[in-house]
Structure 1
């Protein structure tokens, strides 16, 4: 009897394990998986993966177990059936009528979801109560629906994991959590990037076929329902299995490997998603290696001539109140440019502009998300564990590039072609004194093309010229930070601009169209009176992909950056190692600004500058210095790699590829510097010491 009652769990479980195995094999041989695996490594990855899958399915079966637990014929007997129906109706009316009920207090759509659930429960319970002859048929329909939901969710999750891995080379992480929060942009992105209708029809068709198979094999179990004693035995056994699964996952999810891809492939995406959802911000002091706080601060601040957090930046030359336009380009990896070896002519304008600019040839992004790049360019601090400061609650009143410009009498704005509420950008920039110009500021006739991420970059370029013209008439200098959007999946843009069709939906097209839009912007800017008194800073926010053979592959953080100003900035190449957080302090140095600084980045042309870079994911924090990459991770893990540039046809300053060889004996001085940098930054943020 009892063994027969678990047949639905067994069939669904086997189906889930097969699907998970298939997706794991796909990941192993996916082009983005650049690591190689021996036969025994593959066996290890698949074995740990199957164990993870069994644990996850056991936990996910809770809803199916509850369904079977409450299956009963006796609850429809008088007077229990009428009492239960009455209670359900009262709950429905409570949600519907009471204005500040507990469901509405949670906000969002919680109340509507609860109302729909209780309403359906009333409908089916009432039918089974008043139509006892149809009870088995109704129960079969509900059982079929539940099996169908489980089957479709299993397939849908596998498809979602595939597309996520295809994009990032990772299982679910913070980005997947963001995708659930910003559903409008993400659903729009999916609709424009993939053949959604055929895809969903295929998912439902396969789900329906699997449901029919499992339903036919198990529907007889609904004819003879278990008694109360049998239910308690089944429930007790299930609780034990769930407890074992939770305990087991606490161990298997901590299994590490020197091969990053092995860790990702053997993992199950759902626990990783849950972890990311519940760990928006990682407490550095709980998860990372640390040293005495005073020693950490002393070590980190020793790089400055004034070894204090607040420092006076002075210049012997008079200040130059030039306009500054900072253009951060979406997902522009260094290897898209011809300077760095690309042969596809994707960035003809940027390559030509680089030869007329001060080009930083050895600069690294701090992270792999737009908000991390914006954070680096605005706060000029190393990245911290968890989400970017931009997306945290305590993100206002910070010491920013905008606050320095404002102190000099500048008009300060953030320009974005999409809706700036996305990624919390509006909250962050407005909360730090920036004016906002985004899609809400466009008239319909000003938009020649738009997708879910925003108006086309050429439309934003025209709007930017309008904004700057208006600002120049005020008599005040201006600082505008423009974030582009077109080089983002689905990579759609107006036809007829470049030689790659706008509906090709290719990354190369997105890059080339962005380059085209920037050329149009500069053509328009040259005709304006303010052009010759303006400094243009062009830099990527992050690379197009962050997946590689190691936790932090160097080539996936190398980005192009340049400063251009007609007759002011002399063309030159700056080849020393530097970070994204050094860019704006360097610009302030070029303008001879005198100010009190809390920036942790440095002017690269000062004597105190030390070549280094900070690169990170949401949990792996890296420090690059002296041909070493030191990485600290939860839980207090330290890894160090020696860096050796790979041989190539390009000159060393444009060769982005490195061999990263893990060291058995760490360079302790660099380990201490790494810990000091990230610990000090985390401490100062936590205690609001980086506020204005």
Structure 2
């Protein structure tokens, strides 16, 4: 027996060429584990808002696992490619092992960084990665700066690098001990072809709609995979209304929108399909007053005392409300600054996907700036950050506004700044300087001022208010209120004050997340119009959309003009015709009377009876009449922009 086996070498316990499938499989398993742990942690973080039905729990983890596996298939492609191309004889060499382990190190670090990023993103937006995250990848300077100012980035990265080194070492040891055998190039090619076919099938036939199985939005978000959602959002940053949404016959919609848009003071000038171009006629002398429109970053209605807040974080605005025309039933069109700027400048319902502010071919649009410029106004968009962010500078600069941003301030004029822009008090000092200089020409001024301080990291100059900087949203709200108060008080000493209309409105709410797809309470924003001796103090409780503000301002000033706006002058609109628009990048909401219509991709439409106080919504029998109205508004707006009909 000894002679028989003396020349036989023992069979090795591991394959020297295990790396072709071992590393991809192990990294894929690591991804699934990390994704599952992330899902569990986010579930714990959001536990009070989850409906723990058996269907929801099973769907959350089952569908979540499905997306994790799909994401793993995409994620390990570099390792599969490396193992396929490198000859078997080379895969035992030290150089290959070092290259493979470096690649694994990078991938593990990305997975850990992604998990931390998902936690941070969820903390801000209560959702998986979406359009906002795509924007953040584009505007890296502001976003990275914001993160550095909000979190101990150095410590976090150090911990992640240490964990990455540990996990990479463990994965390398496991790969060496794996049971996977080596394959010659032909067999590796067959495996690779099968893998590519599977990936191609998932790309063609799997999308992020599978997770939309529950009526609880948080459950649907948790059932997704953050990294998968990020690339899905990147691929679908613009949605063709006709392709994805419920639509009606063009002729029917064209007639319907003209019926909906018609008001007593308006007269259509042509019968072109989808045209809403009309003359607005307001008899009597025009009031060529200066207009100062302040759009406040993330100012939810419930921050103000007039909406029931007892924290006292908007003392100036609360005091100003009693001297103003105070609108108490206004709804923002969306959840991003660019949506608010779109609504306030071109007065159009939100179109699915990206805001028009960010889209190509958005130059020369019919805007509030173009109307007022035609009336002899000097128009300004004044912003405390850099105008290139979110394409704001380009959009306003190409739509009849002069853009004035932080580059107009010298270092000595800046008391404080963070990555988003200068402190709001410095922004308003710039606005005061710009307006005071412009009115000397004898022409009226329209200045749209966009604030930035009410934004994470919630930092501002110390000593201005009784809440320390960088402690939370409430402090940022109170600081912005302080800055607005300082600006208005300073304006009262200027010669142009008595001839000026001050309009204070939010761009959107501080948070739009809720149990329902479009929680209407999270879209309510404040609006104050202040002009002593011209606008009488009063409360306006009528339902109103953010897109109605432009026509309402023009109506208050008694202007006659040719309009392409979708908005109403709320004071000319007959009672009972009020409506509002709310949206995410996919869901399009239409509020009228006590109902909420939601249009979604896959040509879905549903009718809800929302609770306007807590945002809950009960699905009701379909209201076909209101669905038809919602389709008319949204289909028309999308058609008009695509066909260039929003141009001047």
Fold shared, TM-score > 0.5 on shorter chain: yes
Could you report, residue by residue, the CA deviation over 1:239-297 in whole angstroms, capped at 9, with x for unpaired residues? Answer: 34424544663486365322222211111122322222122221101110011112112
CA distance in 1, matches of 2:426, 2:452: 11
Matched, 1:517 2:483: yes
- Distance apart, 1:28 and its partner CA: 1.8
Q: Aligned to 1:528, what secondary structure does the other structure show?
A: coil
Contact 1:72–1:225 (8 Å) recurs in 2: no
Matched, 1:452 2:409: no
Q: Aligned to 2:596, what secondary structure does the other structure show?
A: strand
Report the equivalent of 2:636.
680
How does the TM-score come out when normalised to structure 1?
A: 0.87
Report the equivalent of 2:248.
291
- Distance apart, 1:216 and its partner CA: 1.4
Find the partner of 1:573 among 539, 544, 568: 539
Report the equivalent of 2:6.
none
Q: Aligned to 1:622, what secondary structure does the other structure show?
A: strand
CA-based RMSD: 2.1
CA distance in 2, matches of 1:213, 1:246: 31
Q: Aligned to 1:29, what secondary structure does the other structure show?
A: helix
Contact 1:377–1:581 (8 Å) recurs in 2: yes
CA distance in 2, matches of 1:570, 1:529: 21
Find the partner of 1:186 among 118, 138, 143: 143
Find the partner of 1:401 among 368, 378, 386: 368
Contact 2:211–2:220 (8 Å) recurs in 1: no
Matched, 1:490 2:449: no
CA distance in 1, matches of 2:19, 2:456: 49
Contact 1:33–1:169 (8 Å) recurs in 2: no
Could you report, residue by residue, the CA deviation over 1:366-394 in whole angstroms, capped at 9, with x for unpaired residues? Answer: 00000000000000111111111110111
Find the partner of 1:229 among 186, 192, 197: 186
Contact 2:56–2:214 (8 Å) recurs in 1: no
CA distance in 2, matches of 1:382, 1:592: 24
Question: Superposed, which structure 2 residues align to 1:209-288 within 5 Å?
Answer: 209-219=166-176, 226-246=183-203, 249-250=206-207, 253=210, 255-288=212-245
Question: Superposed, which structure 2 residues align to 1:542-561 within 5 Å?
Answer: 542-561=508-527
Give unpaired runs (5+ residues) of structure 2: 1-14, 269-275
Contact 2:67–2:228 (8 Å) recurs in 1: no
Comparing 150-159 with 256-265, which one deviates more in the overlay?
A: 256-265
Distance change >3 Å, CA 421–CA 172, structure 1 → 2 = same
Contact 1:59–1:245 (8 Å) recurs in 2: no
How does the TM-score come out when normalised to structure 2?
A: 0.92
Contact 2:18–2:178 (8 Å) recurs in 1: no
CA distance in 2, matches of 1:50, 1:658: 30
Distance change >3 Å, CA 43–CA 253, structure 1 → 2 = closer
Question: Superposed, which structure 2 residues align to 1:197-208 within 5 Å?
Answer: 197-208=154-165
Report the equivalent of 2:401.
434
Distance change >3 Å, CA 217–CA 230, structure 1 → 2 = same
Distance change >3 Å, CA 659–CA 230, structure 1 → 2 = closer
CA distance in 2, matches of 1:202, 1:355: 53
CA distance in 1, matches of 2:207, 2:561: 50
Contact 2:18–2:179 (8 Å) recurs in 1: no
CA distance in 2, matches of 1:643, 1:241: 43
Q: Aligned to 1:674, what secondary structure does the other structure show?
A: helix
Distance change >3 Å, CA 582–CA 70, structure 1 → 2 = same
Contact 1:32–1:169 (8 Å) recurs in 2: no
- Distance apart, 1:307 and its partner CA: 6.8
Matched, 1:72 2:87: yes
- Distance apart, 1:316 and its partner CA: 2.0
Comparing 532-541 with 135-144, which one deviates more in the overlay?
A: 135-144
Contact 1:56–1:245 (8 Å) recurs in 2: no
CA distance in 2, matches of 1:39, 1:201: 40
Find the partner of 1:317 among 262, 284, 301: 284
CA distance in 1, matches of 2:406, 2:202: 47
CA distance in 2, matches of 1:533, 1:221: 80
CA distance in 2, matches of 1:230, 1:320: 81
CA distance in 1, matches of 2:54, 2:178: 42
CA distance in 2, matches of 1:142, 1:170: 36
Find the partner of 1:643 among 610, 613, 631: 610
CA distance in 2, matches of 1:388, 1:33: 32
Q: Aligned to 1:143, what secondary structure does the other structure show?
A: helix
CA distance in 2, matches of 1:252, 1:411: 47
Give unpaired runs (5+ residues) of structure 1: 76-127, 129-134, 646-655
Report the equivalent of 1:461.
428
Report the equivalent of 1:335.
302
CA distance in 2, matches of 1:528, 1:276: 48
- Distance apart, 1:562 and its partner CA: 1.0
CA distance in 1, matches of 2:407, 2:327: 34
Comparing 155-164 with 411-420, which one deviates more in the overlay?
A: 155-164
Report the equivalent of 1:10.
25
Contact 1:315–1:594 (8 Å) recurs in 2: yes
Distance change >3 Å, CA 57–CA 578, structure 1 → 2 = same
Could you report, residue by residue, the CA deviation over 1:558-599 in whole angstroms, capped at 9, with x for unpaired residues? Answer: 000110001111110000111001112111111000111111
Q: Aligned to 1:362, what secondary structure does the other structure show?
A: strand
Find the partner of 2:570 among 590, 595, 604: 604
Contact 2:522–2:615 (8 Å) recurs in 1: no
Matched, 1:616 2:631: no
CA distance in 2, matches of 1:252, 1:389: 24
CA distance in 2, matches of 1:512, 1:472: 30
Comparing 551-560 with 148-157, which one deviates more in the overlay?
A: 148-157
Find the partner of 1:20 among 35, 43, 55: 35
Report the equivalent of 1:86.
none
Report the equivalent of 1:59.
74
CA distance in 2, matches of 1:334, 1:375: 20
Q: Aligned to 2:93, what secondary structure does the other structure show?
A: helix
Contact 2:364–2:398 (8 Å) recurs in 1: yes
Report the equivalent of 2:333.
366
Matched, 1:662 2:629: no
CA distance in 1, matches of 2:419, 2:337: 16
- Distance apart, 1:644 and its partner CA: 4.0
- Distance apart, 1:67 and its partner CA: 1.0
Report the equivalent of 1:531.
497
Comparing 474-483 with 204-213, which one deviates more in the overlay?
A: 204-213
How many pairs were matched up? 622
Matched, 1:671 2:637: no
